[in-house]
């Protein structure tokens, strides 16, 4: 019984991480979430690229989990 609860808890934590990662990644990619220090020097593109890196790596991790099972 404890193993099932632990597995469910692991899944909930993983799913929460995926949702947060996608939210932050898309917010950075569209420009609504920025790194002020970089934007003030005209390097806002770094934030956009970082956002897309987060989104792509999150999608890859989802695919790896789905194909592993």
Strand, helix or coil for residue 31: coil
Q: Would the pTM of this model clear 0.95, i.e. be above it?
A: no
Q: What is the pLDDT of residue 19?
A: 97
CA distance 44 to 37: 9
Q: What is the pLDDT of residue 23?
A: 97
Taking only the tens of pLDDT, the chain with its 69 residues reads 778 788 899 999 999 999 999 999 999 999 899 888 888 888 889 999 999 999 999 999 999 999 986
Dihedral angle of Cα 3, 68, 62, 6, to the nearest 10 degrees: 0
Q: What is the pLDDT of residue 69?
A: 65
Domain ranges of the chain: 15-68
Q: What is the pLDDT of residue 37?
A: 85
């Amino acid at each position: 019984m404890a193993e099932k609860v632990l597995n469910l808890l692991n899944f909930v934590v993983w799913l929460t991480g995926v949702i947060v990662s996608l939210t932050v990644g898309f917010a950075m990619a569209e420009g609504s979430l920025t790194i002020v220090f970089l934007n003030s020097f005209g390097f806002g593109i770094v934030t956009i690229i970082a956002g897309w890196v987060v989104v792509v790596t999150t999608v890859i991790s989802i695919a790896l989990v789905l194909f592993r099972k």
